[in-house]
Amino acid sequence: MGKWMVDITINEVYDPLPTLKSTAQEKGTADDFFDFKTDALVEVKSAASGSKMEEYMVWNPYQVKIGNVSWRIVELTQTGLVLVWDRNDAARYMRFVTKVNLVRRP
């Protein structure tokens, strides 16, 4: 719950599987955050794409669905949250992984 600031986003492309072809890192700004509300809504704000409200659902301690995207929770502490979105493109024998490192500041 609460507001989590995007510290860094890492995008990886595996092409062909399982070869890591490229990695891109993007540092978060003061306008990049996820604000989880108590009514199963999260405000997702990005300096690049603006703000939107999405529904979210925590399936278990290791998965959360935000909008239409299912994220794996790989780390959760009082001040840190790491989400991973992993998807395969079987037709092109590729894999795309997005890791979002979030921090909560007091």
Extended strands (E) in 1-106:
2-14, 20-27, 33-36, 41-46, 50-60, 63-66, 69-76, 80-89, 94-103
- Residue ranges per structural domain of the chain: 2-103
Q: Residue 58 — pLDDT band, cuts 50, 70, 90?
A: very high
Per-residue pLDDT at 70 exceeds 80: yes
| Region of residue 104 (phi > 0: left; psi between -120 and 50: alpha; otherwise: beta) | beta
| 83: exposed, middle or buried (Cβ count in 10 Å: 0-12, 13-18, 19+) | buried
pTM higher than 0.75, yes or no? yes
Quick one: pLDDT at residue 1? 84
User: What does the pLDDT look like over 17-43, one tens digit per residue?
Assistant: 999 999 999 999 999 999 999 899 999
